[in-house]
Amino acid sequence: MNMNFIDFVKKYPNEISCIAHFRQAKESKGIVCKKCGSTRHYWNRTYKAHDCCTCRYRTTLRSGTVMESSKLPFQYWLYAIYLMTMTKKGISALELQRQLGHKRYEPIWAMMHKLRSVMGLREDKYELDGVVELDDAFFKTNTNDKKETPTKRGRGSQERSKVLVMAKVDHKIGPTKKHKKSSAFRFIKMIVIPDSSAKTMNEKVHTYTTTPVTIKSDGWRGFNKIKEVVHKHISKITPPKEASNVLPWVHTMISNAKRNLLGINHKINDYYLQNYLNEFCYKTNRRYFGKDLFERLIFASIEDTWYGKFRYNNG
């Protein structure tokens, strides 16, 4: 079941209720004092912080979370998490800025990229096994000077970014119906790659799969050394027209991702493409979570090892 907007507003009507929720999430996970290691803290209402009972060291509510160094209200963060997890297609930074009535675009844009980075770090914890369809795809992106401040419209020259796509599938037992795929889709991974060389392919396949794994791909030469890193490699040389029959799920997922990304964003900067793919994969892989997804992302974003690993600021 989903959490609808009325439920959200009832539960989190103001900044106080949002602070209380982040506080509760942090406490249920447990707070460890950075100075003395104690786990006993009391709540300091004035500073919105947990003060250590032993040494008085102060851990603010934002400290060590995705919100560290952010000046945006907690309500913004909760609302962004709500919209990013509970809407089917997602939302653009421009639309969120409008919804929040915030003056500046950049902080809202950065907030969403930090959350997408959290999704990516979560996704990186999982490796694919079993039968995995593999292919590469091109996404239309824009190249910018990374030092440039993000703009609403985006600038720079058009290019195509390469993405390695892996879909874990399960084979259905029994006869297949006409026009239906003979396998069931389980999980997806999409990784931006610098080139389609065999070296890059092998490196990524090795990182993101675990034994036993059987890779299915077409006969592209970038894939011809995959056997070196996996248990089994089935490669079929097919005319482009029939490619979607051999690798049905990667192709479905590539077109879904393209439609989703371009439906929301006018232009995508190549440097941030991985973040957008993180969001697509995170949501696709958790498509049966319903309203739990909202709480899951809150928990993921207060994980205290995240800070510094984000892909959101100027390089």
Given the rule CB under 5 A, which residues bind Zn ion? 33, 35-36, 38, 52, 54-55, 57
In the complex with Zn ion, which residue's Cβ is closer, 20 or 55?
Answer: 55
User: Minimum CB separation from Zn ion for residue 203, in Å?
Assistant: 42
Q: Considering just the CA atoms, what is the radius of gyration of the chain in Å?
A: 22
In the complex with Zn ion, which residue's Cβ is closer, 57 or 126?
Answer: 57
Residue 158 main-chain phi, psi, to 5 deg: -70, 140
User: Minimum CB separation from Zn ion for residue 63, in Å?
Assistant: 13
In the complex with Zn ion, which residue's Cβ is closer, 52 or 297?
Answer: 52
In the complex with Zn ion, which residue's Cβ is closer, 54 or 207?
Answer: 54
CA 189/CA 256 separation, integer angstroms: 13
User: Minimum CB separation from Zn ion for residue 102, in Å?
Assistant: 36
User: Minimum CB separation from Zn ion for residue 61, in Å?
Assistant: 17
In the complex with Zn ion, which residue's Cβ is closer, 37 or 219?
Answer: 37
H-helix or E-strand spanning residue 18: helix 15-29
Q: Which of these, 16, 105, 93, 97, lies nearest to 61 by C-alpha position?
A: 16
CA 307/CA 303 separation, integer angstroms: 9
**Under 8 Å between Cβ of 48 and 268:** no
User: Minimum CB separation from Zn ion for residue 300, in Å?
Assistant: 26
Chain CA centroid to CA 194, Å: 19
User: Minimum CB separation from Zn ion for residue 35, in Å?
Assistant: 5
Chain CA centroid to CA 242, Å: 31
Extract the runs of DSSP E, i.e. beta strands, from the chain.
41-44, 49-52, 58-60, 128-143, 157-171, 183-193, 209-218, 232-236
In the complex with Zn ion, which residue's Cβ is closer, 16 or 53?
Answer: 53
In the complex with Zn ion, which residue's Cβ is closer, 64 or 222?
Answer: 64
User: Minimum CB separation from Zn ion for residue 23, in Å?
Assistant: 18
Query: 3-class SS at 269?
Result: strand
Query: 3-class SS at 148?
Result: coil
Indicate the pairing of strand 232-236 with strand 209-218: parallel
